[in-house]
């Protein structure tokens, strides 16, 4: 049976530190952080294989981590209380 679900992503994994650095770079915002040992169950990177989405839907990611961080921050600045109910 073919799964109806699709992974959407770039196929490239990013660490938490990669995301922090990209966010700081594109938004000019300093993100306070400290490096701690990995906890049991923590993963090093998170990524997906988007091949099925491309094959079935013709979908391919158009944006990279920097664009995603910029858009997320712009949305948060414009919606500090989240979605309206």
13 pLDDT higher than 80: yes
- Mean pLDDT to the nearest integer, 43-63: 90
In the chain, the number of structural domains is 1
DSSP 8-31: -S-S--B-HHHHHHHHHHHH----
Residue 85 included in any domain:
no
Residue 37 included in any domain:
no
**Residue of 2 and 73 predicted with greater confidence:** 73
Residue 38 included in any domain:
no
State which residues form the domain around 1.
Answer: 1-32+43-80
- Mean pLDDT to the nearest integer, 75-83: 92
Residue 55 included in any domain:
yes
Model pTM score: 0.76
CATH number of the domain that 28 lies in? 3.90.25.10
Residue 51 included in any domain:
yes
Instruction: Put residue 82 in one of left, alpha, beta given phi > 0 → left and psi -120 to 50 → alpha.
Output: left
70 pLDDT higher than 80: yes
**Residue of 45 and 55 predicted with greater confidence:** 55
Residue 21 included in any domain:
yes
76 pLDDT higher than 80: yes
Nearest of 42, 46, 44 to residue 12 by alpha carbon = 46
């Amino acid at each position: 049976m073919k799964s109806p679900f699709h992974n959407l992503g770039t196929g490239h994994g990013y660490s938490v530190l990669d995301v922090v650095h990209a966010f700081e770079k594109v938004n000019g915002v300093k993100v306070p952080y400290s490096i701690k040992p990995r906890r049991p169950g923590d993963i090093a990177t998170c990524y997906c294989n988007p091949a099925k989405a491309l094959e079935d839907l013709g979908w391919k990611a158009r944006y990279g981590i920097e664009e995603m961080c910029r858009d997320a921050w712009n949305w948060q600045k414009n919606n500090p209380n989240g979605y309206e109910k």
